[in-house]
Amino acid sequence: MFIVDNYILAVFFCFITMLCWGSWANTQKLSSEKWPFQLFYWDYTFGILLITALFGFTLGSNGDAGRDFISDFHQAHNHNLICAFIGGIVFNFANLLLVIGIEIAGMAIAFPIGIGIALVLGVFNNYIAQPDGNPYVLIVGVSLVALAIIIDGVAYRKILQNSNESPLKGIFISVTAGIAMGFFYKFVADSMASDFIMPQKGMLTPYTALVIFSIGIIASNFIFNTVNMYFPVSGKKVNFKDYFRMGSTKLHLIGILGGVIWGIGMSLNILASEQAGPAIAYGLGQGATLVAAIWGVFIWKEFKDLPPKNKWLIPTMFFLFVLGIVLIITAKLV
């Protein structure tokens, strides 16, 4: 199977993850006017399973290193399969909340708050499980990201100060999504072998872990998203007939594309985790907050109503995010 064999390539893969994780939500924005986000989300989850299975049968089944995808699945211990599956459930719960947050508050708000919190929690959670990198540099890096999250929340509140809409709903949902999102990665990492070239018996290779993780997403979606369809926190009530009645081929493909984009990012990040370490790999990937904020600010104009006297909040937020991410990257080098 294909394996990342050096730190520089691992960082590059994490950078691609950052772009993917920060950009997939554009597909939700593109379809939101014609397609309820609850129905979009089904196609999104199908896209994740599609790309991880494709990687499993291609990159995960060729080459001399490691175990091929099918052999790895058959030798896996049930505990590790369940662990990766639970990772998918936890992620799906968190990500669906994030999608609701995006629907309410926009990409430039929901992502920095939700995924920023996930970055902070995820880095510490993964570092405790597998210490790798300078802890002091990591602490400073995630602290700067946390400060950027606070500034983003302040900016959102300033935008809504002259409207009847309360900022608390969007912020609360995004915060809840971030807290849950900070824990899913550890379940996937714990299911995998620490040595990808000669994986331990019973442990999973990255490709198998990713497919089981994706199955966990799909399975839990029949609970989480079904509840969201019939008892929506935001948006209108929809049903399964609407999925087939309202959705055009184009809308379905947009949703699948969103899942494929996210799935590529997750796959590259997991492949990079052996060389970069789970804490650093996850932290770099969650630099997606910066990418999503750029999309939200400059493309979707989500801060256009920010009062002129508060415009300084946006460049300050970006600066703190960039500096925090740079420190997370260098944590293993110092």
Per residue in 54-109, pLDDT (tens digit) is 999 999 999 888 899 999 999 999 999 999 999 999 999 999 999 999 888 888 88
Range of lowest pLDDT (54-58, 91-95, 188-192, 298-302): 298-302
C-alpha pair distances (Å), 318 with each of 26, 191, 289: 19, 35, 10
| Contact present, 293 and 317 (Cβ < 8 Å) | yes
d(CA 11, CA 260): 21
Nearest CA to 165 out of 157, 173, 177 is that of 157
Q: CA end-to-end span of the chain, whole Å?
A: 31
Answer whether 122's CB lies under 8 Å from 181's CB: yes
Confidence class of residue 177 from pLDDT cuts 50, 70 and 90? very high
112, 292 contact by CB (below 8 A): yes
| Whether pLDDT at 163 is above 70 | no
Does residue 165 have a pLDDT over 70?
no
- Give the pLDDT mean for 276-291: 80
Q: Which pTM does this prediction carry?
A: 0.88
165 contact partners, CB below 8 Å, separation of at least 6: none
Least confident piece of the model among 93-107, 208-222, 283-297 = 283-297
Token pair for 278: 């789970």
Angle at 150 between CA 37 and CA 185, to 5 degrees: 55
As a whole number, mean pLDDT of residues 208-216 equals 98
**Average predicted confidence (pLDDT) for the chain:** 90
SS3 130: coil
* pLDDT band with cut points at 50, 70 and 90 for residue 162: low
Identify the residue with better confidence: 170 or 96. 96
Average pLDDT estimate for 201-223? 97
